[in-house]
């Protein structure tokens, strides 16, 4: 069983709408949690990185939350744009390794 589970697997929304992606993890001990955006055929680009003590972090229209007690994180995208169409990957680091979620494939339609 993967230690980082993301949902939904895929999502289609209309341009301008908001959406929320989920990440649940069991990695322990916990060092940090990151959200990456990956366009097709390109390398991932970092959106946010949060440590245990942080519960919210924003990067423009992207806002990530972290509940270290329940081991859950979410990525909220506000006023979606066509360029937000991509895979969003949740990555959780322990002391000596990194675990990757399978990603959520977001499609924004006009």
Answer whether 6's CB lies under 8 Å from 25's CB: no
Distance CA 91, CA 11 (A): 19
- Tokens 């990603």 sit at which residue? 103
Of positions 23, 44, 77, 86, contacts another protein by CB under 8 A: 44
Instruction: Specify burial of residue 36 (Cβ count, 10 A radius: 0-12, 13-18, 19+).
Output: buried
Specify which residues 31 forms β-bridges with.
none
Q: Looking at 8-16, 69-77, 78-86, 95-103, which segment touches another protein (CB under 8 A)?
A: 95-103
Of positions 1, 14, 29, 42, contacts another protein by CB under 8 A: 42
Shortest spacing between CB 51 and another protein, in angstroms? 9
Specify which residues 18 forms β-bridges with.
none
Shortest spacing between CB 82 and another protein, in angstroms? 21
Of positions 81, 83, 97, 109, contacts another protein by CB under 8 A: 97
Question: Quick one: 72 or 100, whose CB is closer to another protein?
Answer: 100
Of positions 101, 104, 106, 108, contacts another protein by CB under 8 A: 101
The reply to whether 96 sits near another protein by the rule CB under 8 A is yes
The reply to whether 30 sits near another protein by the rule CB under 8 A is no
Distance CA 53, CA 85 (A): 30
């Amino acid at each position: 069983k993967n230690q980082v589970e993301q949902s939904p697997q895929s999502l289609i929304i209309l341009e301008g709408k908001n959406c929320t992606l989920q990440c649940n993890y069991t990695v322990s001990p916990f060092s940090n949690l990151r959200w990456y955006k990956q366009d097709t055929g390109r390398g991932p680009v970092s959106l946010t990185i949060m440590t245990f003590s942080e519960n919210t972090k924003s990067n423009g229209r992207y806002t990530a939350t972290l509940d270290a007690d329940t081991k859950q994180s979410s990525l909220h995208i506000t006023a979606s744009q066509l360029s937000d169409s991509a895979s969003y990957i949740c990555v959780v680091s322990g002391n000596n390794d990194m675990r990757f979620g399978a990603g959520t494939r977001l499609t924004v339609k006009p």
